[in-house]
């Protein structure tokens, strides 16, 4: 069967070019590979780094956006303990109205109603399941779906929607969250074309 048969043109068309993904380092994985991420790996480089298939990244961003817009934005919690993920998630929240929790994730945030930081989301988006392990555990405990940006070293046992990407690089995280924001706004019907989204990838980029 021809590749892409049965899909709409918009599903086949990448949000940005492969070159754009690669210039931002989205494809650069780690030297570790988990069995969970095997299907998203394109090849292993001579220096031992695993390379992520950015075509699959692109598809997963669109699928994750379709999933997340099923929820009221105020019931979606986006988490980033990682420093380079904090500005990108803030921008995502600014444009979409989703709840943002950047920096330290206090134990009990999702599970302890007596905590001053207590939040009751219906789904959660993680920047890195390893760095955001406390949020992942609590989401699992309360039984809400998890969307996560996953690098080649991540396990995905408790992740429902995987977005395969370099989840440590400053430019990679900016591009992924910029694309995810644009995809969410498109799914919500708030923008009809790329030109209507005036924010740039640089706007999403953390300071060095």
- At residue 194 the predicted structure's pLDDT band, cuts being 50, 70 and 90, is confident
Picking from 102, 119, 101, 97, the residue whose alpha carbon sits closest to that of residue 110 is 119
Does the pLDDT value for residue 10 go beyond 60?
Answer: no
Distance in angstroms (rounded) separating the CA atoms of residues 25 and 189: 30
Specify the pLDDT at position 68. 97
3-state SS class at 107: coil
pTM over cut 0.85? yes
**What would the two tokens of residue 50 be?**
């695993």
Which option is the CATH number for 16-204: 3.40.50.10490, 2.30.42.10, 3.50.30.50, 3.40.50.2300?
A: 3.40.50.10490
State how far the Cα of 179 lies from the Cα of 95, in Å rounded to an integer. 12
pLDDT (0 to 100) of residue 88: 97
- Quick one: what percent of the chain has pLDDT higher than 70? 95
Domains of the chain, by residue range, sit at 16-204
Alpha helices (H) along 69-129: 83-96
Asked whether the predicted pLDDT for residue 38 surpasses 50, the reply is: yes
The pLDDT of residue 4:
44
- Mean pLDDT for the stretch of residues 28-48: 93
Are 80 and 86 contacting, i.e. CB atoms less than 8 angstroms apart?
Answer: yes
pLDDT in tens, 88-128: 999 999 999 999 999 999 999 999 999 999 999 999 999 99
What's the CA gap between 67 and 161, in Å, rounded? 9
- The model's pLDDT over 141-193, given as tens digits with 9 standing for 90+, comes to 999 999 999 999 999 999 999 999 999 999 999 999 999 999 999 999 999 88
Q: Which pLDDT tens digit goes with each residue over 121-155?
A: 999 999 999 999 999 999 999 999 999 999 999 99
- Rounded to an integer, the average pLDDT of 191-198 is 86
In contact, 144 and 31? CB cutoff 8 Å: no
pLDDT at 71 over 50: yes
What pLDDT digit, counting tens, does each position of 40-69 carry?
Answer: 999 999 999 999 999 999 999 999 999 999
Among 3, 5, 13, 7, CA closest to 186: 13
Q: Say what the pLDDT of residue 192 is.
A: 87
Looking at the DSSP bridge assignments, the partners of residue 44 are 50
What is the model's pLDDT at position 99? 97
């Amino acid at each position: 069967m021809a590749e892409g048969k049965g899909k709409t043109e918009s599903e086949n068309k990448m949000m940005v070019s492969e070159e754009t993904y690669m210039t931002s380092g989205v494809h650069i994985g780690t030297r570790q590979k988990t069995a969970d991420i095997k299907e998203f790996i394109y090849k292993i480089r001579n220096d031992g780094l695993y390379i992520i298939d950015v075509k699959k990244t692109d598809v997963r961003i669109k699928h994750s956006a379709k999933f997340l817009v099923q929820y009221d934005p105020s019931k979606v919690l986006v988490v980033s303990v990682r420093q380079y993920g904090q500005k990108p998630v803030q921008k995502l929240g600014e444009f979409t109205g989703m709840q943002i929790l950047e920096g330290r994730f206090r134990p009990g945030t999702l599970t302890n109603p007596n905590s001053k930081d207590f939040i009751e989301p219906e789904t959660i988006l993680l920047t890195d399941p390893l760095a955001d392990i406390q949020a992942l555990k609590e989401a699992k405990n309360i039984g809400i779906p998890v969307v996560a940006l996953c690098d080649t070293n991540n396990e995905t046992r408790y992740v429902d929607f995987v977005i395969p990407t370099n989840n440590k690089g400053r430019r990679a995280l900016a591009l992924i969250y910029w694309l995810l924001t644009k995809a969410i706004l498109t799914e919500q019907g708030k923008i009809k074309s790329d030109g209507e989204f005036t924010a740039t990838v640089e706007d999403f980029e953390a300071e060095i």
